[in-house]
């Protein structure tokens, strides 16, 4: 489990650091610029993560095909190609929606100045969606082969590249114009395009991967496999959309309070997102290892793989909860200048949010690993219902009630998020434990 998970975990962290680089740079530009970019970024991420569900379907499908071994090269190639078709299908309407970010923000009641800044940022950032999703499809292929090391190498290179390009485009360095918010978004789009091309080149040239001929005759339709990707992937997409959507809704609710709350929420969420990358990597490894066991009809391997990922993920998040409780100021100082008097309120709010984030670290780890375990069994529809209930009924219901009805403002929203994650984690674990009784195991 660790041999497969650690490169996935580190590549997850590097991808988060690419986003964190923009947050750090925009934090130096100003708190309002940071708040505006956060509004746009959360809309983009909600749509991207929804689309990512289609890509995630490819991982358990390819893992099961490799586990069965019969015709595995051909079947893996079919699944990969149709996941790319699915990506192209969904990205075009997402781009059209993101082009109107400013109008959407105004419709959600955001300040006109923040809405305008969000629109400027997204006009540059939205083009990163296609290369990001194609990169994730290639990542799923390498993970299914249990060879994720190249993903880490390429992702690490992307951090330095994004820092350089975004810095130059935001502040007008290296002879480039100072494009501010638009420059931050454009820099990330350029970097993800280069990262995608680099990993694609590795897959075409490396001997172990070349035999799959993943990109050969890409234009040929395979409607049966295309439908299979959508059938398994759409519930995953909706599940991820519910989760990403509730965090995007939290940002919009913060925007109804004030700009300082949005900026503080962005910092606290960025810190929590970095810790989340570890159980997310373990969840991805669990999907692959459980999926291989599913293809081999090996129930013992399914049991070992699932529980090992769960124990590692929850254990790590317990340590992170302690870290957030002990060192909130140090972590916040990475993203915003603590010596500036104008940032005092943002820092105060971010500290209070991190105290709540510490409480839901364990639940967050449990729900993401639980979802990954169930995906390995090709079980995606019931977890989708869990996400709808936990995030939108419990999370938003409690969060909105405490924030506006109870007068707790931003802290109330974070308590709601924690409550929703806790409910989803319990439901995922109960379903995993009942997998044999529910008929989720392969028939031997």
- Calpha distance 200→430 (Å, rounded): 39
Query: By mean pLDDT, which of 26-35, 371-380, 396-405 is the weakest?
Result: 26-35
Whether 193 and 165 have beta carbons less than 8 Å apart is answered as: no
Q: What is the mean pLDDT of the chain?
A: 87
Q: Do the domain assignments include residue 129?
A: yes
- For 185-201, the pLDDT digits (tens) are 999 999 999 999 999 99
Whether 373 and 407 have beta carbons less than 8 Å apart is answered as: no
Does residue 126 surpass a pLDDT of 90? yes
Does residue 444 surpass a pLDDT of 70? no
Q: Do the domain assignments include residue 161?
A: yes
Q: What is the largest CA-CA distance in the chain?
A: 66
- For 270-329, the pLDDT digits (tens) are 788 788 889 989 998 999 999 989 988 899 999 999 999 999 999 999 999 999 888 888
Query: What's the predicted TM-score (pTM) here?
Result: 0.78
Q: Which residues have CB under 8 Å from 175's CB, separation 6+?
A: none
Q: Do the domain assignments include residue 317?
A: yes
Look at phi and psi of residue 175 and say left if phi exceeds 0, alpha if psi is from -120 to 50, else beta: left
Strands (E), 254-294: none
- Calpha distance 53→312 (Å, rounded): 24
- Calpha distance 232→230 (Å, rounded): 6
Does residue 56 surpass a pLDDT of 80? yes
Per-residue pLDDT, 71 = 64
Q: Do the domain assignments include residue 442?
A: no
Which domain does 281 fall in, by range?
A: 2-433
- The total number of residues written for the chain in this structure: 444
Q: Which residues have CB under 8 Å from 326's CB, separation 6+?
A: none
Q: Do the domain assignments include residue 115?
A: yes
End-to-end CA distance of the chain: 24
Burial class (CB in 10 A: 0-12, 13-18, 19+), 408: middle
Q: Which residues have CB under 8 Å from 251's CB, separation 6+?
A: 38, 39, 42, 262, 265, 266
- What's the total number of domains in the chain? 1
Q: Do the domain assignments include residue 94?
A: yes
Q: Do the domain assignments include residue 441?
A: no
Q: Do the domain assignments include residue 438?
A: no
Per-residue pLDDT, 134 = 94
Per-residue pLDDT, 262 = 82
- Separate counts of helices (H) and strands (E) for the chain: 17, 0
């Amino acid at each position: 489990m660790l041999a497969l998970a650690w490169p996935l975990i580190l590549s997850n962290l590097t991808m988060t650091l690419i986003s964190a680089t923009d947050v750090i740079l925009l934090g130096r530009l100003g708190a309002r610029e940071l708040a505006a970019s956060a509004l746009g970024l959360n809309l983009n991420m909600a749509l991207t993560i929804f689309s990512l569900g289609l890509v995630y379907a490819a991982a358990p499908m390819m893992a099961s095909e490799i586990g069965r071994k019969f015709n595995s090269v051909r079947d893996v190639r079919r699944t990969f190609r149709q996941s790319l078709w699915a990506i192209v299908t969904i990205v075009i309407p997402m781009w059209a929606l993101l082009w109107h970010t400013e109008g959407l923000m105004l419709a959600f009641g955001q300040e006109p100045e923040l809405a305008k800044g969000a629109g400027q940022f997204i006009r540059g950032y939205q083009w990163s969606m296609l290369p990001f999703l194609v990169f994730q499809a290639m990542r799923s292929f390498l993970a299914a082969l249990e060879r994720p090391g190249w993903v880490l190498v390429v992702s690490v290179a992307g951090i330095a590249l994004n820092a350089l390009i975004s810095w130059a485009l935001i502040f007008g360095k290296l002879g480039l114009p100072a494009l501010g918010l638009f420059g931050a978004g454009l820099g990330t789009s350029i970097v993800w395009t280069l990262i995608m091309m680099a990993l694609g080149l590795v897959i075409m040239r490396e001997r172990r991967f070349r035999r799959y001929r993943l990109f050969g005759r890409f234009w040929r339709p395979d409607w049966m496999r295309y439908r299979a990707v959508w059938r398994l992937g759409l519930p995953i997409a909706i599940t991820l959309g519910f989760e990403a959507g509730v965090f995007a809704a939290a940002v919009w609710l913060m925007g109804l309070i004030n700009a300082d709350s949005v900026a503080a929420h962005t910092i606290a969420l960025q810190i929590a997102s970095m810790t989340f990358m570890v159980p997310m990597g373990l969840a991805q490894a669990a999907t692959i290892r459980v999926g291989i066991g599913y293809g081999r009809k090996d129930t013992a391997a399914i049991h070992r793989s699932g529980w090992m990922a769960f124990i590692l993920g929850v254990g790590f998040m317990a340590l992170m909860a302690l870290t957030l409780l002990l060192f909130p100021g140090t972590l916040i100082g990475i993203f915003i200048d603590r010596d500036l008097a104008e940032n005092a309120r943002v820092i105060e709010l971010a500290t209070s949010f991190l105290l709540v984030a510490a409480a839901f670290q364990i639940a967050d780890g449990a729900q993401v690993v639980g979802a990954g375990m169930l995906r390995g069994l090709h079980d995606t529809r019931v977890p989708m219902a869990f996400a709808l209930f936990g995030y939108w009924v419990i999370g938003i219901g409690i969060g909105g009630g405490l924030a506006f009805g109870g007068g707790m403002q931003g802290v109330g929203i974070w308590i709601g998020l924690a409550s929703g994650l806790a409910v989803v984690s319990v439901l995922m674990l109960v379903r995993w434990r009942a997998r044999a009784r529910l008929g989720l195991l392969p028939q031997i």
